[in-house]
Chains A and B, each alone.
Chain A
Amino acid sequence: MARAPGDATAYTGLGAAYFQRARETGDVNDYQLAEQSLAKSLDLDSTEFSSEAAYESMAEVCMGEHRFADALTYAHKALSLGSGELSPFAIVGDAYADMGEYSKAEDAYGRLTPRDTSLSPRAAYARDSRLAYLRFIAGNTAAAIKLMHTAVTEGIEAQLPSENLAWLYYELGEFETQAGDTAAADADYIAALNTHPGDYRALAALARLRANHGRYAEAIVLYQRAISVVPMPMFIAELGDVYAKTGNKTDADKQYALVEYIGMLGHINQVLHNRDLAVFYADHDTKLGEALVLAKKELEVRQDVYTWDALAWALYKNGKVAEAAKASEQATHFGTRDALLLFHAGMIAEALGERQKAHDELSEALQINPHFHLSYAGAAEQHLELLQAKAESEEGPNSHAR
């Protein structure tokens, strides 16, 4: 850039590098730096085929900042150049997935396959890893796992950067967790860490897995390592929960205070962590009004199943059970077999007096993974026992015998 200040490609390269660093470190300031570089690149050149990379990187930055509509716009601009580069369809799909438009997402991912040439490993991994997520959302966890295994193979073949490959292992581990296969998930997270040592997502996922199985000491160390890389509010909250579980209230409270502090630090953080904060407040029965405000705010930009679930949970905690049921219906109507979504749905159904539904949802959550959550797996069991007891007391001893 110093040698050729009018060279758009140099600015594009710099922007892409900032973006990749943001991915690896979670430092949101890098998004802003990336955006500045990419804007400069597009200022110099926005109509040539060579500007495709700048538009695409800009779309990725917008995705990172949860500006999904902007991401769509930039991705479409990249496609409109007609350069023959199909990867912007992946971002189009990602944006639609976050906006809860799953069929549009699937259509966009389908366009990643060129008609007349065999799919390159890079395009193949991009397509298959994303389709895997859609299969999971559609409730077909087995298909998601299968596709993600394929994506990992393709990613290795494509010689992806270690961070990207680690992300594939991490995602695979998440699906394995949702299938209740703890050993496979454990192995996947470790593979992610072997591929990209210090990967914060894999560290936290492994910590969560160990915590859910009662291995609290290991979980604490792993969470601390993850947080030392990227202090994500969600990880800090979970670490606090582990401290609380082990009776260490002092450290737990410190973590909870830190969650709020980071979550409110700067505009981008507030945008990025709306949903996590909403769930955190709801989970800890604190600032419940704020939880609802944040969840609703998030729903304005993101309408995927997890945002609906966060809203449902916040409504439930605020005693708005009927509204919570409607939001929960939105969260579960694709049939996603995510134990936490089903647990929330079960609890809401119970509050509405829909015992059979509550029983079914809670049972399914435990059936998917008996260790799906540090606290809620046990809670689900307790509520199921309660429901069973109520049913027996109403139906009498004969019914119980049956």
Chain B
Amino acid sequence: MKSRRITLLILGMFLARTGLAQQTTPTQIDQLVSSSIATNRQASPARDVIAAARKQLEADPKRLQAFNDLALGFVRLARETADPSYLKDAESALDQALKLDPQDFQLLRTRVAVLLAQHDFIAAKKLATSLNHRTPDDVMTYGYLAEADIAQGNYAEAEENAQWMMNLRPNNTPALLVGAKLRTLFGDGRGAIEFLDQAYSQTSPLEVEELAWIANQIASIQIESGEYEAAEQALQRAEKLFAHYPYTTENLARVRMAQNRPGEAVQLLLQAIALDHDPHNLYELGQAQEAAGQSADARVTLANFEKLAGSATDLSTIDLILLHARNAATAPDALRLAQLQVGLKQDVWTMDAYAWALYANAKYEDADAAVQKAMAVGIKSAQLFDHAGHIAAKLDHRAEADRYYELAVRSNPSSKFAADARMAMNSTNAAGAKGQIVQPGQVAGLTLPSNAPRDRLIDSASAAQDAPSGGPSTPRAVPAFAPVAE
């Protein structure tokens, strides 16, 4: 589910796993870290920027632009290495420079980039908004605003800000990347790939990490739509450009999982975890180990994930909600966590997790409202549609349920969610033929059919057959976010 990551490279942001670098990791992972395959890169685009900035500071210790370059270099290095500790270095560079000139526009704007990378979206938006008022024609400030809006689920505002980026400077690369993100969210995967292709084509061949990043974004969209071969090609291209890039390894693991090769996915995720300590990778590893029949390892991995995820990133929080929602005993924890999270942000994936936690707690009407809100954005996600189908089924909205299951299958026919949707449709049809209402939780109290995706291995025996609360709305039409002609 890595596509949930809000990752907009050009905006100098790294979707940080802040504070995780020093945390304890499982023994197995520690061993891997010690024998890490990570290349100790002596040179990389980010390190080049840092070296040049330091050289400038040696010559002129009060040079603000050099401090700014240094801070941006560290933000980039954090993304290159998946190591959020470099964000501290970025902060330090900015602190020193802002002592020299507390109102410098560039420095403050880079502060926004650091805040975004640290996932402090509220502070980032506040500072970016003040900068935008100060200099209303700065493209990058609009980009940072758009990024904060996307993270918070304020998609209409994000779209407006992204359009400003494009209007002010047609076809600039950051605008293309933000636009691609929005197009994906609005269900226009093909349009997103067009933007990403353009961004890739106009990027300097020397910016290897950036190119690898864009290739990963393309692959991620292709994985979500079931184009695994194309995704694998994009990832091979990324690996060739920038070897041992954590995101490439993680995305390749997703491809292997989708191809029903969980053993290989496990190996790739072990490599990824050695480089990128985001607990999300532990969650993915746990699922891969389960799929590979490595139950004991999976239990250990998921237990470790639970220890680390609570105070980590938004992404791992969502993972934790879904994990807790798998079991009736922990379903209330899932809901508590989801309620807290939805109070902070209401993006598509937070709303989906919230909906699924509500479902796990038999609050089907509320679950329906939440999933409708997520779907209204327009994203074409097999997971989201499958969840919507199950929720609709619980509300006895059979036609709607079937429609959502069909959308799940159509979004990504070879995904586990599509498989689950097919099975749910078949069950409904079979039961319908006998005049029964099929409930996923019919099997002795606690679990769904054993071959259902693990994310939804939950049911409540008390699942009520509440009265329908009105038909689910159709996902909205894809907004026409498009570049303005020159």
Chain A residues proximal to chain B, CB less than 8 Å: 45-49, 76-77, 79-80, 82-84, 86, 111, 114-117, 120
Q: Are B68 and A76 in contact (CB under 8 A)?
A: no
B198 touches A79 (CB 8 A): no
Q: Is the CB of B483 within 8 A of A82?
A: no
Does B65 make an interface contact (CB < 8 A)? yes
Residue of B139, B202, B206, B483 touching A76 (CB-CB under 8 A): B206
The reply to whether B207 and A80 form a contact with Cβ atoms under 8 Å apart is yes
**What 9 new A-B contacts, CB under 8 Å, besides A84-B172, A117-B171?**
A45-B65, A46-B69, A47-B65, A49-B139, A77-B204, A79-B203, A82-B203, A83-B172, A115-B201
* B106 within 8 Å of A (CB atoms): yes
Chain A proximity of B195: nearest CB distance (Å): 8
Complex CA–CA separation, A76 to B210 (angstroms): 13
Q: Mark B147-177, 1 if CB is under 8 A from A, else 0.
A: 0000000000000000000000111111110
Contact (Cβ within 8 A) B202 A86: yes
Main DSSP-derived SS at the B contact region:
helix
Asked if B170 and A84 make an inter-chain contact with CB atoms under 8 angstroms apart, the answer reads yes
Report Cα–Cα, A47/B172, bound state, in Å: 14
Interface pairs (23), CB distance under 8 Å: A46-B65, A46-B69, A47-B65, A48-B106, A49-B139, A76-B204, A77-B204, A79-B207, A82-B173, A82-B202, A83-B169, A84-B169, A84-B172, A84-B176, A86-B202, A114-B171, A114-B198, A114-B201, A114-B202, A115-B201, A116-B194, A117-B483, A120-B486
Which of chain A's residues have a CB closer than 8 A to the CB of B204? 76-77, 79-80
Q: How far is the CA of A76 from the CA of B208 in the complex (A)?
A: 12
Given A82-B173, A83-B172; A115-B197 close (CB under 8 Å): yes
Contact B206 A82, beta carbon cutoff 8 Å:
no
Of chain B, the residue at the smallest CB distance from A108 is B205
Whether B169 lies near A115 (C-beta < 8 A) is no
Judge whether B201 and A111 touch: CB under 8 Å. Answer: yes
- A84 close to B72 (CB less than 8 A): no
Chain B residues near A116: list those with CB within 8 A.
Answer: 171, 194, 198, 483
CB neighbours of A47 from chain B (8 A):
65, 68-69, 72, 106
Instruction: Give the interface of B toward A (CB within 8 A).
Output: 10, 65, 68-69, 72, 106, 139, 169-176, 194, 197-199, 201-207, 483, 485-486
On chain B, the residues within 8 Å of A48 by CB distance are 106
Report the Cα distance A45→B66, complex, angstroms.
11
Separation of A82 and B173 alpha carbons in the complex (Å) = 5
Which of B139, B175, B199, B204 has its CB near the most chain A CB atoms (within 10 A)? B204
Check B65–A82 contact: CB distance below 8 A. Answer: no
A53 to chain B, nearest CB (A): 13
List the A residue with the shortest CB-CB distance to B176.
A84
Taking the closest CB of chain A, its distance from the CB of B114, in whole angstroms, is 15
Contact A84 B201 (CB under 8 A): no
| A82/B194 in contact, CB under 8 A | no
> Of all chain B residues, which has the CB nearest A113?
B201
B68 touches A117 (CB 8 A): no
Alpha-carbon separation in the docked complex, A80 to B194 (Å): 20
Is there an interface contact between B172 and A49, defined as CB atoms closer than 8 Å? yes
The residue that A82 contacts in the complex, of B10, B170, B485, with Cβ under 8 A, is B10
A48, A111, A116 — which one has the most chain B CB atoms within 10 A of its CB? A116
Which residues of chain A have C-beta atoms less than 8 A from B206's C-beta?
A: 76, 80
- Asked if residues B207 and A84 are in contact (CB atoms below 8 Å), the reply is no
- Residue numbers in A under 8 Å from B172 (CB-CB): 49, 82-84
Which A-chain residue is minimally distant from B68 (CB atoms)? A47
Provide the bound-state CA to CA distance between A79 and B171, in Å: 13
Bound: A45/B69 CA distance, A: 11
* Nearest A residue to B202, CB-CB: A86
CA distance A375 to B176 in the complex (A): 58
* B207 surroundings in chain A (CB, below 8 A): 79-80
A53 CA to B41 CA, complexed, in Å: 32
Q: Which residue of A lies closest to B195 (CB)?
A: A116
CA distance A79 to B45 in the complex (A): 13
Using A47-B72, A49-B169, A116-B483 as known contacts, say yes or no to A84 and B202 having CB atoms under 8 A apart: yes
When distances are taken between beta carbons in the complex, the residues of chain A under 8 Å from B194 are: 115-116
> Which residue on B lies nearest to A73, using beta carbons?
B206
In whole angstroms, what is the CA distance A49 to B137 when docked?
12
Residues on the A chain within 8 Å of B202, using CB: 79, 82, 84, 86, 111, 114
Contacts of B205 on A, CB cut-off 8 Å?
76
A202 to B65, CA, bound (A): 45
